[in-house]
Amino acid sequence: MIHNYLNDLNDAQQKAVINTEGPALVIAGAGAGKTRVLTYRIAHLLNKGVPAGKILALTFTNKAAGEMKGRIAGIAGPEIARYLWMGTFHSIFARILRIEGERQGYKPNYTIYDASDSKSLIRSIIKELNLDDNIYKPGAIAARISTAKNNLVTASMYSADHGMREYDNASRMHLMADIYRIYAMRCFKANAMDFDDLLMNTNILFRDFPEVLAAYQDRFRYILVDEYQDTNYSQYLIVKKLAAVHRNLCVVGDDAQSIYSFRGARIENILEFRNDYTDYQLFKLEQNYRSTQTIVNAANEIIANNDGQIQKVVYSKNEPGERIMVLQALTDMEEGFNIASDIFDKRFSQQLNWSDFAVLYRTNAQSRIFEETLRRKNIPYKIYGGLSFYERKEIKDILAYFRMVINHEDEEALKRSINYPKRGIGDTTVQKIFELSAELNITPWSIIAESGKYIEHFNAGTLKKLLGYVEMINTFSLNCGTLDAFVKAKEIAFGSGIMKELRDGKLPEEISRIENIEELLNGIKIFTEGAETNGEPSTLEAYLANVALLTDQDNEKDEDRDKVTLMTMHSAKGLEFKHVYIVGMEDTLFPSPLSAGSARELEEERRLFYVALTRAEKQATLSYALNRYKWGNLERSNPSRFLHEIDKKFLNFPQTGGKPFRTSFLREEPQPYPARARLKKAGNYLAQNSTSFSGSDPSEFSEGDAVLHDRFGNGLIVSIEGEPPNTTASVEFETNGRKKLLLRFAKLKKI
């Protein structure tokens, strides 16, 4: 018997859980317990007798799906929960396509190309067509193809669309449509789909095979969608089709946290839900369990400035908490030191973990300064959304072998594995294989597997090496469908020669690569044990299907746990930290200058600020610099307009004696900042006193001082370290860059 889980919910949450019939829109404010509502709603359906296999739950990370399934298993029992269809959009529809994809010409063992595979294939096509990769940039082309697919525009539709061809011509990419066509053809020939294909092909499957759509409409009597505001057009259509018969669709989300339009997310999906389902029920979860009252109230003031939203009033019953600290720095480097020092002080004075702190910025480029300043204070950190474990060379190398073993047609895996470790199959041979493949319209594997047929193209030594590679891959393929993934992966790691290659190396990075492969094998072991426990396939094919769909949040390892997190605000969605620093709060940086001319885009930037602020549990700090380096020049900045949208009673200005920053800057003519004025004064002083220069007493200097040096000119002290007489200062000079000077010998003049 399921325990009385409803007692764990507040009134609003209970209503959202027990009203299971018909379309429902659950608007969940930040920290309002939406995951709990989704979990308990599914548990409630199971308690009512709905078979687990009739429930479809779609999330945006495998981690979220796993946590929810674990909670449901704890309430309803693991034997019931294991039959739920629960996972990310991509993982669920990849599963359906493995069952139904043969109708579209795909084999069930198809490969899923990640972003780097897609770019590699596009790069090859650009080279084959002899195009200029400065015009035809692989990243831009991959993004254009992705946008087309997410709007259900196939290669043939793209080619026939006059507007798209005109856009490409204006961009000097006259052959964009041809690249898309060749890319789609090559993926199909390689029995591969990229991430966007998983959604587009599902839509095409349901369109072209109505009997398949009908079967899944019947199967999924209840559909639940998390983070509905982040769905794109393709995802929206799939959900709408599947829910058309039974109409028991529950979508959960928050329009105030819609921040992914650059990925194709459509806020209209959640705002217009009421138009799609006129008989819908609306449930609002407005109690924030995460943050202090001060943080919640400040966030409400920010988002109230947006017009396009579903009205709600989020509140908190937690302690009032400290006011939000606003830090002002003279320069961007000083901003970095301010934040690093504050983290260091709070960590030890409040007995916190490093992982309790996060620094959020608008662009990835801002991380450099914070990496430098944290390193100088020996503060451990991790960059969230940086190079994924699965993007490391040695991991991609061994995964390429796994992919070849499962799917011999995988072109990208073949390219990566055919001559690694080196076996004497050079680039010229590989190029010849692919040219023959294109000429004869067969796969590269077909060429090398039957290379004896093409003896005029390869010499005897090369033929022997090609057949050796084929024999090795075929040997690895034996028992692949019966042995568990760990046994087979270990066989490939050692049998391919990869482990020997790395062990023979003497460099430290090669030792690190061996450790990474060991970590991969450990992960595969954990996967097989979990799959066997849950009664799911534990083969190498099942492992590959799982690992191809992992997201950043799924990739975190134990070694990353107790570190300060550095990330973009976009990456912070769904996470929470005790202390959050939102940096670069300047009007030329956040909101992004690209949004300045569009009210719609400015509203999305404001939603991004709302998301960033509501990541904080106990305390939030907002930081800006009065001067920031851009293209080597120190340029003045204004505080972000978003700072002025928060009532000053929620803010604390410790550096200015409690006085807020200038509030009317948007209406004033630009005035030089004090730092600029001091620098100018220093320059004038140097010109007037160049013959009689003497330095100030070293004890007079503080961080942020404008100074003068007889050789380097005028500058700003960024940091001071050490004890007298060995005190050093890092000084950013206007024309000579940064210098580290021993103050007792530097002869710096304080201005």
- 4-38 per-position pLDDT tens digit: 778 889 999 999 999 999 999 999 999 999 989 99
Q: At what angle do helices 195-208 and 210-219 cross, to 10 degrees?
A: 100
| Gap between the Cα atoms of 249 and 19, Å rounded | 11
Q: Which residues contact 433 (CB under 8 A, 6 or more apart)?
A: 444, 447, 448
Q: Which two tokens stand for residue 521?
A: 């094998």
The 3-state DSSP class for residue 583 equals coil
Backbone phi, then psi, for 434, in 5-degree steps?
-75, -30
pLDDT at 268: 93
Q: Helical H runs in 632-695?
A: 674-688
Q: Say whether 513 is catalytic.
A: no
Which amino acid would we find at residue 303? I
Q: Say whether 615 is catalytic.
A: yes
DSSP letter for each residue of 241-281: HHTTTT--EEEEE-GGG---GGGT--THHHHTHHHH-TT-E
pLDDT at 255: 92
Which amino acid would we find at residue 384? Y
Beta bridge partners of 677: none
**How is residue 506 annotated by DSSP?**
-
The 3-state DSSP class for residue 171 equals coil
Q: Name the residue among 642, 3, 732 with its Cα closest to residue 306.
A: 642
CB 290 within 8 A of CB 30: yes
In the numeric block, the tokens 């998390």 are attached to: 226
Cα–Cα distance list, 108 to 101, 193, 473 (Å): 7, 11, 19
In the numeric block, the tokens 């009032």 are attached to: 320
The C-alpha angle 481, 486, 489, rounded to 5 degrees, equals 80
Backbone phi, then psi, for 383, in 5-degree steps?
-100, 110
CB 425 within 8 A of CB 465: yes
pLDDT at 43: 92
The C-alpha angle 204, 205, 209, rounded to 5 degrees, equals 115
For residue 418, the tally of other CB atoms under 10 A from its CB is: 21
Which amino acid would we find at residue 88? T
The single residue of 100, 194, 196, 226 carrying the catalytic annotation is 226
The single residue of 186, 615, 641, 749 carrying the catalytic annotation is 615
CB 495 within 8 A of CB 472: yes
| Gap between the Cα atoms of 554 and 119, Å rounded | 23
- Percentages helix, strand, coil for the chain (3-state, rounded to 5) are 55, 15, 30
The single residue of 59, 217, 235, 257 carrying the catalytic annotation is 257
Q: Say whether 475 is catalytic.
A: no
State the DSSP H helix or E strand holding residue 738, giving kind and residue range, or none if neither: strand 737-742
Cα–Cα distance list, 153 to 36, 162, 200, 234, 493 (Å): 37, 13, 9, 10, 40
The single residue of 100, 197, 227, 334 carrying the catalytic annotation is 227
Give burial (CB, 10 Å; 0-12/13-18/19+) of 320: exposed
The single residue of 13, 14, 34, 443 carrying the catalytic annotation is 34
For residue 367, the tally of other CB atoms under 10 A from its CB is: 21
pLDDT at 560: 61
Q: Say whether 462 is catalytic.
A: no
Q: Say whether 257 is catalytic.
A: yes
The C-alpha angle 560, 196, 174, rounded to 5 degrees, equals 115
pLDDT at 712: 78
Chain center to CA of 413: 24
| Gap between the Cα atoms of 19 and 24, Å rounded | 8
CB 650 within 8 A of CB 294: yes
User: Which parts of the chain have pLDDT scores under 70?
Assistant: 1-3, 385-388, 506-510, 551-560, 631-632, 655-693, 726, 735-736
pLDDT at 661: 59
Q: Which two tokens stand for residue 25?
A: 């829109």
The single residue of 8, 15, 20, 35 carrying the catalytic annotation is 35
Q: Name the residue among 236, 179, 201, 181 with its Cα closest to residue 112.
A: 201
Q: Say whether 229 is catalytic.
A: no
Query: What global pTM score does this model have?
Result: 0.79
Please write the tens of the pLDDT for every residue from 654-667.
866 666 654 333 33
| Gap between the Cα atoms of 496 and 512, Å rounded | 19
